[in-house]
Amino acid sequence: MSARVAILISGSGSNMVALADSMTGDHPARPCLVLSNVPGAAGLARAAERGIPTATVDHRPFRGDRAAFEDALQAELDRATPDIVCLAGFMRVLTPAFVARWQGRMLNIHPSLLPLYPGLDTHARALAAGDAEHGCTVHEVTAVLDHGPILGQARLRVLPQDTAQSLATRVLAQEHRLYPAVLRRFAMGERGRIDIA
């Protein structure tokens, strides 16, 4: 019986595509829902093209009432009955109460080598710090933003000519390799960390 995976997005969904396209053949999981907080997010069409059920819960009408927004998210997830939830470019901060419902079953990909640079603007911060290495991290989601147990990291050398944009592009390519690799292991019950170059 395949594990059911819900993927939460806010934009282009390139990580969602990488995850969805990896879940074939003998992969122990299959996508069951792509859920966006942004109506018309490009990733929704990419999911629909793949025959994956989609839903939208626009956060704006909730006017900052995070609990009410998350109750609406939960209602969509209850309908899809996922075993695993993957945050993939999902740009809303989740409350500890919501995370507690999914702790141990929710993953996120973050574009830095955590614990370095939690939060935003990670590429510019790595450049400003003069870091020789940069990359991305897949971690379990816990109540503290971008601080859960690390399940995998992908590293790359920062090049002298790199800009925040060129770095973001190269890190994104690494995300598309790392996230599927971690999800496959996670769906098989493996929790050991992997590192890819």
**Binding region for ligand GRF (CB under 6 A):** 9, 11-16, 43, 88-89, 109, 111, 172, 175
* Burial class of residue 168 in the structure, from the number of CB atoms within 10 Å of its CB (0-12 exposed, 13-18 middle, 19+ buried): middle
Min. distance of Cβ 89 from ligand GRF in angstroms? 3
By beta-carbon proximity to ligand GRF, the closer residue of 16 and 73 is 16
- Kindly state the tokens that stand for 132: 């020789």
Min. distance of Cβ 98 from ligand GRF in angstroms? 19
Min. distance of Cβ 7 from ligand GRF in angstroms? 9
Q: Answer for the pair 116, 126: CB distance below 8 angstroms, yes or no.
A: yes
What sections of 7-81 are H helices per DSSP? 14-22, 42-49, 66-80
- Find the residue with minimal CB distance to ligand GRF: 89
By beta-carbon proximity to ligand GRF, the closer residue of 82 and 135 is 135
By beta-carbon proximity to ligand GRF, the closer residue of 13 and 148 is 13
| C-alpha triplet 8, 43, 193: angle, nearest 5° | 50
First-to-final CA distance of the chain: 32
Min. distance of Cβ 109 from ligand GRF in angstroms? 5
User: Which residues are bridge partners to 22 per DSSP?
Assistant: none
Min. distance of Cβ 190 from ligand GRF in angstroms? 22
Other residues' Cβ atoms within 10 Å of the Cβ of residue 188: 11
By beta-carbon proximity to ligand GRF, the closer residue of 18 and 99 is 18
By beta-carbon proximity to ligand GRF, the closer residue of 13 and 152 is 13
The DSSP bridge pattern shows strands 54-56 and 150-157 to be unpaired
Question: Which one of the listed residues 59, 110, 123, 139 is annotated catalytic?
Answer: 110
Residues 6+ apart with CB under 8 A from 81: 4, 32
Helix, strand, or coil here: 24? coil
Please confirm, yes or no, whether 139 is among the known catalytic residues: no
Catalytic (active-site) positions: 110
